[in-house]
Structures are given as C-alpha cells and as structure tokens.
Chain A
Amino acid sequence: MGMGEDFLVLGGKKFSSRLLVGTGKYRNMGECASAIEESGAEIVTVAVRRAEIAGPQLEDFIDPKKYTFLPNSAGCYMAEEAVRTLKLAREMGGWNMVKLEIIGDRETLLPNMPETLKAAEILAREGFAVMAYSDDDLNMAGRLEDAGCAAVMPLAAPIGSGLGILRPEKLQKIIAQAKIPVLVDAGIGTASDACIAMEMGCAGVLLNTAIAEAKNPVLMARAMRQAVESGRAAHLAGRMKKSAMAAASSPIAGIMN
C-alpha cells in the first residue's frame, strides 16, 4: 500500500494526518496556533467551559473551518455531566465527533471506566461519533467498541505525565483485537514515544502537553509530525525479524585474504 492512500477514518471522515493535538497549556494562543500549524494536525481537541465575557476567543487563533474541533469532556467525573457537556459542544460546533473523557479522581486523572462506558452508550445512541479516552484494559476496549464508539483511545501513561508507553503489551493486545481505530491518548512525552505507538499499529496519537510544555513547542510539533509519519510508515513497511545472533550485511565471498 502506498502512503498516499493511507487515511485515518473517523466518524465517516477521512484524515491525512494521524497526529491529533490539544490546544491547552500553551504560554499563549499565538504559540499554540504556530505549533498546531507545524504539527500538521487536522483534528484539535478543545474544552468546553463557561463563557468569559469579552476578550479574544480560541476560534480567533484556531480556525474551525481549517481544523476539525474535537470537543472533550475533560473535568467531568460522571456520565451525566459528560453527556451534557458534549451535547453543548455539538450544538456549538455543529459537528458530532467528540472526545469522551471521564476521570476518576483529580490526583491520577485515570479514567473512570464504568462511567465512560455508560456515557459512550448514551452518546453513540444519540448519533455521536465517540472517541473514548480509556485505560489500557482489553476487555474494556472491546466493550467500548460494542457500545458503538468510533475510536478507542487508551492511555500510554497518566495525562500530562510524559512517561511514554508504560505497558506496551497491554496496548498491543487492544490493537490486535480492535476493529475500530485505536489511538494512544495521554502520556506521550517525546517524539520516540509517538513513533513507537505508531510502529505498534496505533491508528493515531493524541497529545498536548508534550508539545505545549516543550522548551520550543513549534520545533517539538514538527518532531511529533515526523515521528508519527515515520512510525506509520515503519508499521506499514513491516519490520525485519529480530535475531539473537549477528547476521553479516556484507557478503562473505570475495574477501581478500
């Protein structure tokens, strides 16, 4: 397969970029816009909050006509409030793809899976394309798929930790089982983490802090774009077999001795 026809399909739409980026934690919105531009991302996550009076808005920096906004339910602890938040987001954006994120506690920010599953069932029934932030449990990933999610997004490591893929064997099992796209969401720290996720066969990577809190976010955005592209290409190419023994690359025949 040529890379030219390699699209990420989410909610019935085709995307060329497999890197999804957040819009939070930047020093300023100008830097956010520059980094996102450099990342090549077509989908950006956004949060829903009570409107502040006046002042510049996110849309003044990140053009909703150019990027697909993926509203999240960050900050929600229960299914009911996540559903409410994402319905408001759909009304605002006029677009039904959402990132469902229900956390269990403020300290670890690990997902509350029973509530996530409950909300996913409700949202899918109501026509949302649900991309569900989840733990790396194989059984739960299957249940989210059965609930009608458009994508399942297991964490690599806790949100904002930058620890990289802590349990690759758990992630690998989810990728092997899933019939919907599996994206790693949360825990990516640097380009190699994103590349490894893609080499493993992830359909995409969603990250925010790794770019926003880099010393040079624009340069890290470029690194992430290249890492995701490289990892995807390596996955499609099919890596060589590992061997415990050496195997000479130069022929033995014709050695001068």
Chain B
Amino acid sequence: MEIILNGNKYNLDGSCSVAALVTELGLDGRKIAVEKNLEIVSRSHYGTEEVQSGDCIEIVNFIGGG
C-alpha cells in the first residue's frame, strides 16, 4: 500500500501503527512529532494509531535554526 510520507510516496507492506512506521524509518520516537492527515498524533498514541493506505503522514524534528 502507498502513503504520502513527508511529501513523497512511500510503500508499506500493509497497514501498521505509527510506532511501527517510526521504527521502520529508524527514527527516535522521543525526538519527533507526527501528523496524520493534518492531525497531530500524540506520542502516547503511536502504538494504537493506524497508518492506512492513502494517509498523509508528516514526521518532523528539531534542527538548528535562529
């Protein structure tokens, strides 16, 4: 199935939790924020929030800035 991840098409084997996606991407769940279809997914819901075909996922982190 296909999702839009940070503006690009991304293929997943099937629906999964946000936590599973974060792990697959090799990201540290404590240092990111996730938005699904323009709604923020709170960290405590990563395990239960499902990512499904067509979902638009944004994952952001902090970088250096002024």
Interface residues of A (CB under 8 A from B): 22-26, 29, 32, 45-54, 57-59, 69, 71-72, 74, 84, 87-89, 91-93, 159-160, 186, 207-209
Contact = CB atoms under 8 A, between A and B. Distances in A.
A72 B65 contact: yes
Interface residues of B, number: 23
B59 A51 contact: yes
12 contacts: A24-B64, A24-B66, A29-B64, A46-B65, A47-B65, A51-B25, A51-B60, A54-B26, A89-B33, A92-B62, A93-B62, A208-B65
Contact of A91 (B26, B33, B63): B33
Given A50-B7, A91-B43, A209 B61 contact: no
Contacts of A46: 62-65
B29 to A, nearest CB: 11
A110 to B, nearest CB: 15
B64 A47 contact: yes
B12 interface: no
Given A50-B6, A91-B43, A58 B33 contact: no
Contact of B28 (A57, A74, A209): A57
A88 B33 CA distance: 6
Contact of A26 (B43, B61, B64): B64
B58 interface: yes
